[in-house]
Structure 1
Amino acid sequence: MTLRKTCHRGNFQIEKRRSVFSGEEFNNTNNAETKVYCRIRPLGAEDEECCLEMISSSTIQLHAPDGLKANRNGEYKETQYSFKKAFGINTNQLELFEDVAKPLIEDLIHCKNGLLFTYGVTGSGKTFTMTGSPGEGGLLPRSLDMLFNSIGPFQAKRFVFKPDDKNGMEIQGQVDALLERQKRESQPTVPKTPSSRQKADPELADMINSEEACKSENVDEDCCYSVFVSYIEIYNNYIYDLLEDAPFDPIRPKTPQSKILREDQNHNMYVAGCTEVEVKSTEEAFEVFWKGQKKRRIANTELNRESSRSHSVFTVKLAQAPLDADGDHILQDKNQVNVSQLCLVDLAGSERTSRTRAEGSRLREAGNINQSLMTLRTCMEVLRENQMCGTNKMVPYRDSKVTHLFKTTLMVKEK
């Protein structure tokens, strides 16, 4: 699998996914699979000519525009690229979800980690594919919906599971969990008027039609579950917590503090001090997502009115533990807790500064975006060479925060 030469046209993008075992099994499995999908975006109002053709359900062909052929005396060769699957312009969001993300939710429920990211040039439809729009929910809201549809009746009460700040999870006693629930319920909440809410955040009900709901039928009913979400962005190779509650000071606004990466006892990388929010419904999880989404850095460029200037990582973490013999309480044994996670990554688009006419800080942003994407490509190429040729070349994970964060996932052998 290679990402090379797959994203230098503005009307298509790729989704890459991988699922791996969680915990200690993570480093012992060699059968994790990396799959690359191509989704073709319909031509926009400003697009003049289509340079792409679907040859089969897994192969696309690129050809040069007529003007380019003339300039090169007809020497331009048509090129073909193969993927796990290619999706045409008529593919809807549900069809894409069922092929790309639904298996990852099944894996998540069965204690396997997963990574899915969208990759492509700016304006190719990555954010639409990941988030979607009212009436056309993307991979992220559909993934949340399927997860809660599946584990809803088997969720633990709030605060029974608690992050240990070391990328793990511990189980609280009933009394401690009850005290934290009472404390949460006693805190005042600011009501949101329907009008302001509608303007700010799309409602989940508007994103996904109830008739399109998905559910896993393979949930272990002898376990209890809790879902935690976190949301970070990687901007200019610095990591920021999009869910961090910073005190508002209109006179002296504080600059957000960047976070650092650390390695846990299983050699998995994680963002130290990152906010993890326990959520009990799809609606609550989606509301947390939009809270962070409003903090993402975007800008207007020549190619995209709302171009993401950072890579975003929305992580869904699922904690599960077995019930006692009576089926009434969770076993108070940290060693019995299984934690799996699915990272949904919306990468910033690669771009040519000559086309976006970037200057100043925008030029620096574009440089950092392109550099991090180049590092990702380099890592994938070295990994593939090591696999295919039996070499042991050094993989430059540390050259970018994106590749460093997902180092363990990328290290697992590909099929």
Structure 2
Amino acid sequence: MSRARSTTDTPPLRGGSPPPLDLGRLPAVTAALAERAAEHDRDATFPYEGFAHVHAAGLLTATVGARHGGPGASLADTVRILRALGAGDPAVALVSAMTLFTHAAEARTPSWPGAAYAELLAASAEGPALVNALRVEPQLGSPVRGGLPATTARRDGGNWRLTGRKIYSTGAVGLSHLLVFARTDEDPVRVGSFVVRAGRPGLTVEPTWDHVGLRASRSDDVVLDSVRVPLDDVLHLAPAGDTPGARPDAVTGAWNALGLPALYLGVARAALDWLTGFLHERVPTALGAPLATLPRFRTAVGEIEASLLGADTLVDTYARRVDAGDAEAAREAGAIKVLATRAAISAVEAAVALTGNHGLTRANPLQRHHRDVLCSRVHTPQDDSVLLALGGAVLDRAAPGSPAATSHGTPPATTSRTQKGN
């Protein structure tokens, strides 16, 4: 039976190790990413030089655990990083997030095979080594909603042979390591994430990504045709339905639910920055003064700022609570994602409404920020899942006869229905 080996003895980052984590460098990295963000969006090209900037600042390895020689950045630190990267180029931020989340998960609960993770760390010391989990398939959709992947791992001596197709594989063309969610062809079936190195024979990236937003993320299809994976290079291999990697634990889910909205709040901040500059520069002839002097625009900008301030504060506060081991905060992180992404989208939509044709002109970045921020709705956990679970929990607590309802003095069912209706 294949099993993941402990990474306790994995060698640390060394050789060309990146500099220590310095969050003071974030404004410079944001500015560097922003310089070519429009170009990469227009051409739908992968921003390789953007990741070089992020790596040079020590940000791609920020969450590598201390026992591996990394900074061991917290979720609160990661939120700050992703907000800054999102303000510069959200495509860079998104792929960086996947890499940061991977290292953070390994720091919390080691699951990578030792040799494979040592190889990733060595590559990360020398240059940008990007990682992402490829889970979505044409028929399955996202496995977080249940179901078995069609991608199959067949035992072949001392190796597995992977065959299948993954869609929406963010950053596929630039990944160093791909964590491919697949099933075995055994009876009973097991499911896990197989470590696939870039460039392996049989691995092909098909340029299918033609999206309105995050065009530079190159979330293309990945096709695997009998790709060889060493027998032990698999994470969380377990019987189907009992797979730790199929559905994330609460803390892993919280990193995703708080980290990703942070990058889109960065997009919204970039939109607000452009808006304020535009309002100062725009001087209609009839007014004879900048639009920024009008109470209507000052009030509208105040509304946007208040909304973003509230969302930023929520994300930051919950990130610190999760770092402190607050289990309730981890469970509630999905609701914070809903609120934060809605605030980010509303902020950019308000900026577009205030600027009219100027905001939708391709020469201006606001239309790009608008397209990019809409992608925040796509990420797991999605709003419907969060709200269904949240609403169900509230209603269950309030159900007549439940312990919570009794403790709060809710009248019994026979006396509480004083009016007809729902």
More strand by share: 1
TM-score of the alignment, normalized to the shorter chain, above 0.5:
no
- Tell me: higher relative CO, structure 1 or 2? Use CA pairs within 8 A at least 6 residues apart: 1
TM-score w.r.t. the length of structure 1 is 0.28
More helix by share: 2
TM-score w.r.t. the length of structure 2 is 0.28
